[in-house]
Structure 1
Amino acid sequence: MTTTNLHKLSGSFVGRVWVPDIGPVLVSLRGNSLFDITSREVPTMRDLFEMEDPAAYVTQVDGKEFASLDQLEAESLAAESDPSKRHFLAPNDLQAVKAAGVTFARSMVERVIEERAAGDPQAAEAIRARIGDLIGASLSNIEPGSKQAEQAKQALIKEGLWSQYLEVGIGPDAEVFSKAQVLSAVGWGAPVGLHPKSVWNNPEPEIVLAVNSKGNIQGATIGNDVNLRDFEGRSALLLSKAKDNNASAAIGPFIRLFDGGYSMDDIRSAELTMTVTGTDGYVLNGQSMMSKISRDPADIVAQTINENHQYPDGFMLYLGTLFAPTDDRDVPGEGFTHKIGDRVDITATGLGTLTNDVRTSGDCQPWAFGPSAFMRNLAARNLI
């Protein structure tokens, strides 16, 4: 496991670390060293993002050096068996955790197939062979909400191929849902969780934007939007159960703040690569390219926060993925699904690598440190 030479980058990276007997602290990465920058002025990541120029603040604030990056990585791995040890947390705190779905043409086609197959992976293979190429090729260059998109919609309805997933994929309104509860996401090195009843599931490598209460995009990081394809395929009304389980949202390792050397243009051109390594020797490689996203990330943000919906503590926004694994892992025709013990490494341009092992949600550390515990902790430390 590695954060992929982040110390060699010159950007402004911020994160959160759990320190025994203290609680969560804000850190900035400077070279290979982590500095505690928690203060009464900025006790939370939320407060940092509300600043006019978070990157300038992080660059100028003194902070206290307390660990090397290598040291904290090693301690985080040890914390898998002993969570009381010092370890990485997800870099966000009080922000809502939202996700945009069906933002890439290829994943949009897979959602249509899931729906038609009602969560059956073998039925999905037959449908994929019949309609996948037709739908994907016809929709890959359509601007959502455009006149061309409406014409495609009417044609698909006529052919009996219209789906609720195509509605949010090429219609005017983006799909934005709640991925996880505040403070429930896990960070680098922590296990991610699968519902034990799921038999068809996969990781989803995504860019995650950090947005403040004013709708300003302040930076970005990596996310794994763990997905239960069988649950969602049975019914879209099971989306919450398919997406929001204990340890089913991973974010990290750090948020890279926007500054003179890093901006939304870097997000739009970012590439993600992913490797899933099983204890059985199985290896799956995948990628997602932000240049192929159907909706501009800034448009998805604008559809999430506006006069109709406010986020006083800001939000983190998963942007969706091009990756939709269809290669068979074991049984021909059943495609890919996780096995317990899989290791997932997601690397994104300029953001490092997010690494997590796979367990069932019940075998992951129970989520117990919520907003009330966080507020009591900050008050006891005289930070609020």
Structure 2
Amino acid sequence: MTFDFDTLDALGPDWRTARWIGRIDRGEGPTPVIVAGGIVFDMSKAAPTVAELVARDLLDPTAGEAICDLDTLGLSVGGVPRLLSPIDVQCVKAAGVTFAVSALERVIEEQARGDAGAATAVRARLEDRIGGGLAHVVPGTPEAAALKTALIEEGLWSQYLEVAIGPDAEIFTKAPSLSTVGWGADIGVRSDSTWNNPEPEIVLLVAPDARIVGATIGNDVNLRDFEGRSALLLGKAKDNNASCSLGAFIRLFDDSFTLDDVRRAEVALRIEGTDGYVLDGASSMSQISRDPEELVRQALSEHQYPDGFVLFLGTLFAPTKDRDDVGRGFTHKSGDTVSIAAPGLGRLINTVTTSKAAAPWEFGLVALMRNLAARGLLSA
């Protein structure tokens, strides 16, 4: 499905008073831009990539060249000027099992061995034992250790609960650099997956020196059947063509929008199928079990990211509303429209297809370097 880019819908009602960073292609290749006061600034002469702009803190739009008002630029997904994913060579990281509900659903996937039909009975057993108590357990505390002991004794312990309430967060690499898709693009699920769902999340933009400089919306597509069969299939479940999408632009933090706004954000999700199926959900960031700064700290504890990184913060959303057969819950169908929105960050919209049918990822690091060199944008 093709969508018309609407600035107000994609960025929210206060978009003109905010500062945004992202990428567009006006026919020459990927160009980093900053949007400030509603005006688009070409930042490629200051730095040829979004990663370098962030790393060198070159976020003052006056260092670039004003193009025009964003509303009059005529952005589209397939034409020119083309809207691209807002990041380029940054590493794409994700934090998993950061909400109690998602922790329970991961245990259900594991206990059901990836079989959606067996999930209902497992869910009832776990909820009867744990209920809402998991949401009040602080990871890494003595109370968390006591709950672990009790669950082990009952045969209900899981590696997912280990990262949910243990001292170490789950931090993994979601996708290769330059492989993410953006607003309006098709998003892919594996063609051999029969149980999957979107994961509406807030995504942080982090500089190499650990500064958290902004945020956007993302969809960390999840294959419940693959990961449920074995946690060792996480890489195959998470990293597939077009399986990671980000909002149109990343909102840069300032006095009007800070990390505290992320901490209290309500992330809304709506799925509309061509079969008439509609599902609405929400994820409240106030219920996250680990603070976003703690997740960033753990991502950096034994690693460096010289080009910076983005970090998906996890989701509360785990759909269980039946779509077809009773007791089989939700799974995507090709043609589904997925809409994710959060105050101050706007709305991300994508259409579901298979990773095989999605546009192939062909523009990698070598292609980027060649393009920038041909445009005279690389310097010592």
The TM-score, its normalising length taken from structure 2, stands at 0.94
Given that residues 14 and 344 in structure 2 are in contact (C-alpha distance below 8 angstroms), is that contact kept between their aligned partners in structure 1?
A: no
The equivalent of 2:312 in structure 1 is 318
In 1, the alpha carbon distance for the partners of 2:304 and 2:343 equals: 30
Secondary structure of the residue aligned to 1:363 is coil
| Matching of residue 131 in structure 1 with residue 133 in structure 2 | no
> Distance between the aligned counterparts of 2:182 and 2:210, measured in 1?
24
One of 46, 54, 59 as aligned partner of 2:51: 46
Give the deviation of 1:133 after TM superposition: 4.8
Pair 1:136–1:213, CA change in 2 (3 A): farther
After TM superposition, the structure 1 = structure 2 runs for residues 1-384 of structure 1, keeping only pairs within 5 Å, are: 2-3=6-7, 4=9, 6=12, 8-9=14-15, 10-20=17-27, 22-30=28-36, 32-39=38-45, 41-52=46-57, 54-55=58-59, 57-58=60-61, 60-66=62-68, 68-69=70-71, 72-73=74-75, 75-76=76-77, 79=78, 85-306=80-301, 308-384=302-378
Q: CA deviation at 1:86?
A: 3.3
For residue 366 of structure 1, what is the amino acid of its counterpart? P
Q: Classify the secondary structure of the residue corresponding to 1:341.
A: coil
Q: What amino acid does structure 2 have at the position aligned with 1:37?
A: M
RMSD across aligned positions (CA): 1.6
The 1-side partners of 2:125 and 2:22 are apart by 46
What is the TM-score with the length of structure 1 in the denominator? 0.93
User: Relative to 1, partners in 2 of residues 1:89 and 1:145: Cα closer, same or farther, differing over 3 Å?
Assistant: same
Q: Aligned residue pairs: how many?
A: 371
Shift of 1:215: 1.1
Q: How far apart are the structure 1 equivalents of 2:110 and 2:179?
A: 28
Do the aligned residues in 2 keep the contact of 1:106 with 1:136 (CA within 8 Å)?
A: no
Give the CA deviation at 1:62.
4.7
Letter of the 1:6 counterpart:
G
The answer to whether the 8 A contact 1:93-1:182 is kept is yes
1:290-333 deviations in Å (ceiling 9; x for gaps):
10000001000000013x21111111100000000000011100
Report which stretch shifted further, 315-324 or 276-285. 276-285
SS of 1:156's equivalent in the other structure is helix
5+ residue gaps, structure 1: none
Partners of 1:197 and 1:62 in 2: CA distance: 46
Identity value in percent: 54
Q: Name the stretch that deviates more: 179-188 or 6-15.
A: 6-15
> Given residue 115 of structure 2, which amino acid in structure 1 is its aligned partner?
D
Q: Deviations over 1:170-205 (max 9, x none)?
A: 000000011000000000011000100000000000
* 8 Å CA contact 1:7, 1:30 repeated in 2: no
- Residues 274 and 71 of structure 1: is their aligned pair in 2 closer, same or farther, counting only changes over 3 Å? farther
CA distance in 1, matches of 2:32, 2:238: 27
Distance 1:278 1:32 in 2: 34
